[in-house]
Amino acid sequence: MNSKTYIITIAILLLSSCSKKKSDFDKAELIGVWSGLLFQTETKYDSIALRPIQKPEKAILYKNGKEQSYQLKNVSNNLSFRTDDGLRFDATYGNNSPILYGVLTNDLWSQSLTFSKSGNKWISDIQKPEIIDTDYKVYLEFYEDTLGILQAKIQSNKENRELHFKINSVRIDDNNIEFDITNNRFGISAEYDAEKNNLLLAYGNTGGKRRVNMTKLNPSNLMGYKPLPKQEYTYRIPKPLDSVINTASLQEVGIDSSMLGFMPKMNSGKYDHIHSVIITKNSKLVFEEYFHGYDREYLHDIRSAFKSISSMLLGKAMMQSKSIHLDDPILNYYPEYDISDKEKKDITIHHALTMSTGIKLEDEDEMQWNNNDWVGYKLNLPMEYEPGSKYEYSSGGMNLLTGVIQQATEKNLPLFIYEDFLLPLDIRKFQMRTSPKGRAYLPGDFYLRPIDFTKFGLLILNDGKWNNQQIIASDWISISTQPHIKGSWPKGSDYGYLWRLLERNVGGKKMRTIEAWGNGGQFLIIIPEAEMTITFTGGNYNLFPEMEEKPFEILEKYILPAVEL
């Protein structure tokens, strides 16, 4: 073969290889749901020990077999240590207690600790921060449309991915899969290894790019991707919770079984990223279901619904400290700030509770990412209207209550929340954001079990009493859930002290409701006349109006009409 013939032969072979089919695998191999872990968080520490058992003097933090020791301060049985980089520990020690409770704060994050005795020390595990990036799985579903064209959609177990982007089309070139998506701030592509039946996803956003190994899920086990693992649903009375909350069937409390009509539709896509629905009636737990792989023990962010719970925290602080009055100027609790503005000196606790401080609305991203003092940032914004004259939803405005509670109780605020408010309700697990100044953050980023979220509604219904103990003064429950100002959403609705006050049709009758709302679908709906609470958690973050429409459709179409009066 001469050189000319050789070159022609090579060219023909190259052209032949280029003209073969676009992929070297059958696209049918892709069809189905693929899953992989996109994000994960880690703890800086695995566990903490306090030594000795009697009057602990030292705290030891452990990570991967290594340890760091800190000297404990013990002031009137209040144990603590603090470091310059924001690490702190707080607990109250009781001489004869078999269990010790505390709070660890690190990297602007607090979490509850439950210690048990082990030899001559107290020991507690430290959990991963339950932020949205923890255990974040991504799902990629390939399917054929009615024309036989390969399409794909992306979802996660933690949030509705439609907030970020949708996939318009899929293109396959050899083993490479390209996706045209609706948001150029993101980028995704994949490589398919037919021999190993493995999909390698390349996922990029403004934070960088990561590669995720994805495996194909069995169609019979789509837990996490689908709201329910099976299409069929059978109602069961919830599992027992504790000695305070009894369980019962829907029928026993007068809720018709037609209420269950939404459950067979959960996997249709209509109610994606509702994570839990919990119902109590007549102080009994009658319905408790979780979706997308969530369960009773998972800590869920209740977002801005924590604002309403913060109203109860203030009520608890007022119950303990008679020095707090609703007409107290907010600046009385912040002597460290030199504020000369006369109108700001007129801002009271009442104004912070009614979203009517009059201070210019803050930029939350600017406040949290570019400032070390979130309270100072808010207080130094200009006034826009007279305090009390106008409702304007403001996280920074109501967060001014942090100093009020902390100064009045003379206690680290996360520890106060845990020991004085949550533990009496038998709530033993929570996590929350704190600020760079060491204050708790009251507007949101509070994580707890959804079933514990429900307990706040039961506490309202029982006039602040729990297990025969007055947790919040009944007078505060009454005054905080009365109208104090007109809110902005729903338009013209009443607003109490950080509670939304609405009316809903229950069993054909208009009834007053007391409600806590949080971004993404976090709702606690309390109906005193029906002695009923309905709790939703969800992951439809920043999706308007879906985050309200999905749970409220279930509420108004299925739950409330089924209540027998």
The answer, yes or no, to whether residue 18 has pLDDT greater than 50, is: no
Q: Tell me, what's the pLDDT at 110?
A: 97
Q: What is the CA radius of gyration of the chain?
A: 27
Q: Which band of pLDDT confidence, cut at 50, 70 and 90, is reported for residue 16? A: very low
- CATH 2.40.128 maps onto the chain at 19-40+133-216
- CA 392 from centre of chain: 23
Average pLDDT of the chain is: 94
Report yes or no: 386 and 343 within 8 Å, Cβ to Cβ. Answer: yes
Would the CA dihedral through 562, 462, 300, 230 be positive or negative? negative
The answer, yes or no, to whether residue 63 has pLDDT greater than 70, is: yes
Kindly give, in sequence order, each residue whose CB lies less than 8 Å from that of residue 28, ignoring residues fewer than 6 positions away. none
Would the CA dihedral through 338, 343, 349, 354 be positive or negative? negative
Distance between CA atoms of 416 and 77, rounded to whole angstroms?
Answer: 15
Report yes or no: 2 and 152 within 8 Å, Cβ to Cβ. Answer: no
Lowest-pLDDT range of 4-8, 257-261, 324-328, 549-553: 4-8
Type of residue at 104:
L
The answer, yes or no, to whether residue 258 has pLDDT greater than 80, is: yes
Token representation of residue 79: 């144990």
Distance between CA atoms of 63 and 275, rounded to whole angstroms?
Answer: 32
Report yes or no: 463 and 312 within 8 Å, Cβ to Cβ. Answer: no
Residue (of 540, 405, 462, 110) closest to 282 by Cα position: 462
Report yes or no: 300 and 447 within 8 Å, Cβ to Cβ. Answer: yes
Type of residue at 279:
I
The answer, yes or no, to whether residue 213 has pLDDT greater than 90, is: yes
pLDDT tens-place string over residues 395-450: 999 999 999 999 999 999 999 999 999 999 999 999 999 998 888 999 999 999 99
* Mean of pLDDT values over 211-237: 93
CA 237-243-246 angle, to 5 degrees, is 30
Token representation of residue 374: 């979130």
Question: Which residues are 82's β-sheet partners?
Answer: 88
Question: What predicted TM-score, i.e. pTM, was given to this entire model?
Answer: 0.94
**What's the Cα-to-Cα distance from 457 to each of 51, 163, 253, 255, 424, rounded to whole Å?**
39, 30, 17, 19, 15
Element (H, E) at 414: helix 413-416
119: region left, alpha or beta (phi > 0 left; psi from -120 to 50 alpha)? left
CA 364-368-373 angle, to 5 degrees, is 115
Q: Tell me, what's the pLDDT at 20?
A: 40
Q: For strand 300-301 and strand 150-156, is the pairing parallel, antiparallel, or unpaired?
A: unpaired
> Given the structure tokens 């089924």, which residue do they identify?
562
Q: Tell me, what's the pLDDT at 94?
A: 80
Q: Tell me, what's the pLDDT at 163?
A: 86
Distance between CA atoms of 155 and 333, rounded to whole angstroms?
Answer: 46
Token representation of residue 312: 């109860």
Q: Which band of pLDDT confidence, cut at 50, 70 and 90, is reported for residue 545? A: confident
Q: Which band of pLDDT confidence, cut at 50, 70 and 90, is reported for residue 2? A: low
pLDDT tens-place string over residues 300-339: 999 999 999 999 999 999 999 999 999 999 999 999 999 9
The answer, yes or no, to whether residue 7 has pLDDT greater than 90, is: no
pLDDT tens-place string over residues 166-205: 999 999 999 999 999 999 999 999 999 999 999 999 999 8
Token representation of residue 470: 């007055």
pLDDT tens-place string over residues 418-433: 999 999 999 999 999 9
Distance between CA atoms of 556 and 299, rounded to whole angstroms?
Answer: 27
3-state secondary structure of 251: helix
Q: For strand 522-527 and strand 176-181, is the pairing parallel, antiparallel, or unpaired?
A: unpaired
Domain 300-562: assigned CATH number: 3.40.710.10
Question: How much helix, strand and coil, in percent to the nearest 5, is found in the chain?
Answer: 25, 35, 40
The answer, yes or no, to whether residue 9 has pLDDT greater than 70, is: no
Q: Which band of pLDDT confidence, cut at 50, 70 and 90, is reported for residue 232? A: confident
**What's the Cα-to-Cα distance from 16 to each of 12, 22, 311, 389, rounded to whole Å?**
6, 12, 73, 78
Query: b/e per residue, 410-427, with b = 16+ CB within 10 A?
Result: ebbbbbbbbbbbbebbeb
CA 521-463-325 angle, to 5 degrees, is 90
The answer, yes or no, to whether residue 14 has pLDDT greater than 50, is: no
Report yes or no: 246 and 283 within 8 Å, Cβ to Cβ. Answer: yes
**DSSP assignment letter at 539:** -
The residue that leads in pLDDT, 26 or 249, is: 249
The answer, yes or no, to whether residue 8 has pLDDT greater than 60, is: no
Percentage of the chain beyond pLDDT 70 is 96
The answer, yes or no, to whether residue 95 has pLDDT greater than 50, is: yes
- CATH 3.40.710.10 maps onto the chain at 300-562
pLDDT tens-place string over residues 99-136: 999 999 999 999 999 999 999 999 999 999 999 999 99
CB atoms within 10 A of CB 28: 10
> Which class does domain 19-40+133-216 fall in?
mainly beta
Residue (of 165, 269, 159) closest to 539 by Cα position: 159
